[in-house]
Amino acid sequence: MPSAEQSAQVLASILLDTIKPENDTQKLELSGLYPVWAEGNHLSSDICNAKGQTWECYQSHDTASNPDITPDNPAWYTFWRPLHGTSPETARPFVPVQGSHDMYHIDEYAIWEDGNVYRCRQDTNFSPGEYPQAWEVVE
């Protein structure tokens, strides 16, 4: 017999298959319902959690034929993008930008290495440490 937690996860999967979140904020607010990344077949728009982040697949792939597409390998960023918070509550640790698909935009939030939450003041592909004028600390 499945545990209550296992049953809740199955229910969450069913609900997420029928009701799609409309934007990154909703996806992040529901991030506790998404599975932890696992090897397998990943379709574009799949969402998972890995490395303290919530990620969306933007290029379908299968790890059986592409075993280097893992969260700890640089190839990961070719297939997955981190979701950026649009409020201090949905902020996630800063992820270095790999391309235009994961650039930080005005009014997105990130948690920097110093533990502070930062709000992006202008579109940027730089971190708060590299280009502080693009970011401001949220008090």
- Please give the CATH number for the structural domain made up of 85-139: 2.10.10
The full set of domain ranges for the chain reads: 21-83, 85-139
Residue 2 has a pLDDT of 78
What is this structure's pTM? Answer: 0.85
Per residue in 46-100, pLDDT (tens digit) is 999 999 999 999 999 999 999 999 999 999 999 999 999 999 999 999 999 998 8
- What would be the CATH architecture of the domain defined by 21-83? Ribbon (2.10)
The whole-angstrom separation of Cα 91 and Cα 88 is 5
Among 22, 139, 25, 21, residue whose Cα is nearest residue 87: 25
Q: Is the pLDDT of residue 17 over 80?
A: no
DSSP-assigned letter for residue 124: B
Q: Which residues contact 9 (CB under 8 A, 6 or more apart)?
A: 33, 35
Judge whether 21-83 and 85-139 match in fold: yes
pLDDT at 21: 86
